[in-house]
Chains A and B, each alone.
Chain A
Amino acid sequence: MTTETLVRRQAPGQRTITRDDVVAWTLPELTGLRKLLGPEWYRLLHGLFTNPLSVAGLTIVTFFILMAALAPVLAPPLKVAADPYLIPRDGFGPKPQPPGSVWVKDVPEVPFWYPIITGKDHWVHLMGTTSGQFDIWYGVVWGARTALFAGIVVTFTTVIIGLIVGSISAFYGGWLDDVLMRITEIFMAFPFLLAALMMASILVPKFGRSIWPPTIALIVFGWTRYARVVRGDILSAKERDYILAGRVIGVKDSRLIIRHILPNVIYPILVLASFRLGDAVLSFAALSFLGVGTDIGYADWGQIISFARDWILSLDTHWYIIVFPGAALIIFGLGWNLIGDAMRDILDPRLRTVRG
């Protein structure tokens, strides 16, 4: 807010607010956070919280994080369940029940907020049930934990692997670059989802049906894009004057890479990672949908959608079996994409120049 604006808004007779007042009021707070984070991270964070797109994205992601954190409150598990990630089922019937149908068998504890809002004491299937009577509300709420876990683990791990492979390959070049890039291309030659599907299928007998086979499969085939992007950026960055100057004065390779090159190429990776986090969750759901993911009944959005397979021709009646988990997946992906878009805008020096 400029000094002029403040002057215009002041009440008659009030002391004029000077630029010094504004500086004295705003600077200590800003410099404190800026000092803590450093100028670049501060600019990124400041941009994220002021850009409308990213605020929308952050709101969506925060919503899912809260949903995951509050899962035991929003959808209480059965008192006796050893694994709360297993969706409680109201019998075993094949026909889905519509939203609002009363919970008959195996009723979990009614959450405290439900009688307050509805005035009723009997717990219902808020989003209906799938085929096999798995409660959709429970699956969507607890599935947020699975989605966040899979998304973060896959993205974080693939970024690290991509950074290591890409930076070594680009910085040292020569035969090492050839070998690493040929390996990368071999991995990229497989259609991503098909390769992940095969890998997960191989891993299931080893690890059993759990969250790990699809997670590992997505990691194994997911790092290549980061490696290529990092390599491309470093190939450009390593020829710049400050790097050449560093080499001339004898700065060690590791210092050049870690202190001078990576901080300058990390931002495109952050943008890519925020886009890919949503993709990772979608791919995870796809693997679950195809039956190579988690155990049957595990709270996972892809698996809930897979329960709709037998009812795909009657979705006009049983729309809820696909709409709720599908909406959760789409909105989750949208949230991360909005953040990615905003980060790209914030970090793109050309856009910065135009705005500046």
Chain B
Amino acid sequence: MVAGEPNIPLRRLGLRLGLWNGLLLGLALALGAWASDAIFLAISRVQWVVYPALFLGSLILLLLGGLGGWLAAVVGRAWASLLIWLVIGSLMTWVIGHTPYEGRSLMVWLADRRSWGLTIYPFNETAATAAALAGFFILLLLGCMGLLQPYRLEGLVAEADEQGHLQGRGWFLLLLPLPLAVAVGLVADHMVNRPLRVAPQLVHEAIHTGRTYPGDLFELSQRTGLNYNAISAVRDQMSRRYSLSIGLVDLGVVDTIWVTADFDNGAWINCRVVAEQLAFCYDARPPYLQGFPAFITSGQMPADCPECAFAADEEQREWLRARSGMFRGPPRVGRLAQWGSYVLLQAESSAGDYAIQCLFSGVNPVHLERCWEVKAR
């Protein structure tokens, strides 16, 4: 080997640098897309299920970036590299667009097998538009990176020392596009994640203020222009510890997000956020914990409690009426789980010898999806 020449084959060095280039691009995009989202969601006390989705999304972006960088280095031609990175960019766009919806749903499914297959956070048309717009910027960036990769790698290989390690200028050239990738990630975050982030932030702020502000919330709302009064109906139910979760997302014409707050004292409220404005909050329990047991007992919705009503098709009603006698009195009802707007309840006879489970969906109105018998204690 001639003195001054690298000890490792240039091709292997090129592949390694291509892999690093791709991994770093994927990491920078993931940081831009989700770092601030994770921080803001944590501050707003959003339930843990969002974080594994963000972690999984970041991991996929990292792997896709690494794959794209390595493949482009293997091929070594500018146009092929462009195509590879455009495909990788499309996949990354898909991941970034779907993570707040199907990504979270997947995490819920994995965390609780009973929720498997439920469309918890549907990916709707508005989300698709936002993802497409974010994708435009991602494809533009990654397309350029793809086109330039073979030539950037040449420069990087030339900057490596005999052991194949990068020195000052080499690192500079390798890291140079990363601020751009972070910026594109931030653009994607603004388009895709922000709409889902604002609602829990508003609810968290309202709950915090509702608990700590000693005066009249209506007067505070008038003074600040923010609707704290929305929380006043449930103010006496709120305890210090709580967690938030997104109940239902409808970013279409109505631009509504329902946020569910679970308090450690058992209180459970739903808040409606319309067009990034907190509209109202109310006790979520009546349809599940009053309407449902009343229907099992009497076969009718309680006439004197309109907020206890829930919707159910005739088949489900008949099924419940047919089993009314098995309970021999008012059943004990408990919430077993909640995934988004889906709520799983268990009704048990007072003697504990008979039990059913029912799955409800929706927020306002609540809809009975299906019921089934389970083995009692």
Contact = CB atoms under 8 A, between A and B. Distances in A.
Nearest to A206: B129
Interface in A205-258: 206-208, 212, 216, 252, 254-255, 258
Contacts of A4: none
B116 interface: no
A206 B252 CA distance: 10
A254 B77 contact: yes
A258 B148 contact: yes
B153 interface: no
B98 to A, nearest CB: 19
A107 to B, nearest CB: 9
Nearest to B225: A106
Contacts, number: 54
The bracket for how many chain A residues form the interface is: 20 to 34
Interface in B137-165: 137, 140, 144, 147-148, 151
A169 B239 CA distance: 66
B255 A207 contact: no
B358 interface: no
B352 to A, nearest CB: 47
Interface stretch (B10-18, B197-205, B308-316, B338-346): B197-205
The bracket for how many chain B residues form the interface is: 20 to 34
A194 B62 CA distance: 42
With a 10 A CB-CB cut-off, give which of A78, A80, A82, A254 has the most chain B CB atoms: A82
Contacts of B226: 78, 80-81
B78 A255 contact: yes
A155 to B, nearest CB: 13
A257 B255 CA distance: 47
A259 B209 CA distance: 59
With a 10 A CB-CB cut-off, give which of A156, A252, A254, A259 has the most chain B CB atoms: A254
A321 to B, nearest CB: 21
A105 B223 contact: yes
Give the 8 A-B CB pairs with smallest separation, nearest first. Answer: A254-B78, A82-B202, A82-B201, A82-B198, A106-B224, A36-B169, A80-B226, A80-B205
Given A106-B224, A206-B129, A258-B151, 13 more contacts: A35-B169, A36-B172, A80-B224, A80-B226, A81-B226, A82-B205, A89-B225, A153-B137, A153-B187, A157-B137, A207-B129, A212-B133, A258-B78
Interface of B: 77-79, 129, 133, 137, 140, 144, 147-148, 151, 168-169, 172, 180, 183, 187, 191, 198, 201-202, 205, 209, 223-226, 228, 255, 276
Interface of A: 35-36, 78, 80-83, 89, 105-106, 152-153, 156-157, 160-161, 206-208, 212, 216, 252, 254-255, 258-259
